Amino acid sequence: MARITYIEHNGTRHEVEVANGLTVMEGARDNGIPGIEADCGGACACSTCHVYVAPDWVDRLPRKEAMEEDMLDFAWKPDPARSRLTCQLKVTPALDGLVVQMPEKQI
């Protein structure tokens, strides 16, 4: 399990335990956290699970694959360094303490 903090655009924080093997997107979905729509269900075929990772986590996450980079082009105000698709972040013990913030909207 990893404790992940999801911060809504309005500042509301949700700190939840997410099981290893799930994705950060599935953790939000399973815990009813608003702001991550995940329209494609985690297939990396949309950008509606876009988040900004906390600056101190950017270098601690696995590198973005080309498919994720391509999908981020469709996200709302992507940040080249901090934007990630939560469907591409597999939860492991190494993600314990991860903090992500949702954008103003998903498109």
pLDDT the model gives residue 10: 97
Element (H, E) at 15: strand 13-18
CATH superfamily of 2-101: Beta-grasp domain (3.10.20.30)
Tokens of residue 74, six digits: 């469709």
Extract the residue ranges of the chain whose pLDDT is less than 70.
none
Q: What is the pLDDT of residue 36?
A: 96
pTM: 0.96
- pLDDT at residue 98, as a whole number: 98
Q: Are 85 and 23 in contact (CB under 8 A)?
A: no
